[in-house]
């Protein structure tokens, strides 16, 4: 899977190392969790599935800036203020991950759904980019 050469989406793993993102208000990027994703492509588009536990629909932000798709969301558990942590595997309260979209994808018609902490994004291909069967006429 890793060896796929023509990946339509490239994962940007080194988020923290990129201070060039202008929409970030923070002077310094807070440590964020990288949500695990599944990405697959069929003839009509790309489907991205991301695990975002503890994220509600209102908090989720999906931004498209040019060819860059960014998923950002705060993780809220709603626990009591007096709760003292004794053990933690999740140690940040923010999810963030960006993907670079290829030009054959229609960024204007992205469809998103969030259910039980799982985000499903559907990014359709532009009409001209869809695979087409070329009829061969018999002469």
Partner 1 sequence: MYSSLLRTPGDWFADFEQLQDRIDELLGGRAATSSIRAVGRAGAFPALNVGTWAEALEIYAFAPGIDPKSIDVSVEKGVLSIAGERPAMNNAGAANKSGSEERNVYAQERFTGRFRRVVALSEDADPSRVEATYRNGVLKIVVPKRESSKPRQIQVASGS
The number of residues in the chain equals 139
The one among 23, 115, 132, 133 contacting partner 1 by CB under 8 A:
115
Select from 17-25, 62-70, 101-109, 113-121 the region that touches partner 1 (CB under 8 A). 113-121
Distance CA 125, CA 102 (A): 10
The one among 21, 47, 68, 102 contacting partner 1 by CB under 8 A:
47
The one among 31, 61, 65, 67 contacting partner 1 by CB under 8 A:
31
Q: Tell me: does residue 112 bind partner 1 (CB under 8 A).
A: no
Q: Which is nearer to partner 1, 74 or 138 (CB)?
A: 74
Residue (of 32, 37, 77) closest to 53 by Cα position: 77
Residue (of 133, 69, 138) closest to 105 by Cα position: 69
Q: Tell me: does residue 91 bind partner 1 (CB under 8 A).
A: yes
Residue (of 72, 134, 125) closest to 103 by Cα position: 125
The one among 82, 103, 127, 132 contacting partner 1 by CB under 8 A:
82
Largest CA distance in the chain: 81
């Amino acid at each position: 899977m890793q060896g796929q050469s023509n990946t339509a989406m490239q994962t940007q793993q080194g988020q923290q190392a990129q201070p060039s993102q202008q929409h970030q208000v923070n002077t310094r990027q807070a440590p964020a969790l990288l949500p695990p994703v599944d990405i697959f492509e069929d003839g009509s588009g790309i489907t991205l599935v991301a695990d975002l536990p503890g994220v509600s629909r209102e908090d989720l932000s999906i931004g498209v800036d040019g060819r860059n798709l960014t998923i950002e969301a705060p993780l809220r558990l709603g626990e009591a203020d007096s709760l003292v942590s004794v053990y933690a595997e999740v140690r940040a309260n923010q999810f963030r991950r960006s993907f670079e979209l290829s030009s054959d994808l229609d960024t204007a018609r992205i469809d998103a759904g969030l259910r039980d902490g799982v985000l499903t994004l559907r990014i359709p291909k532009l009409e001209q980019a869809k695979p087409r069967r070329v009829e061969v006429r018999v002469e």
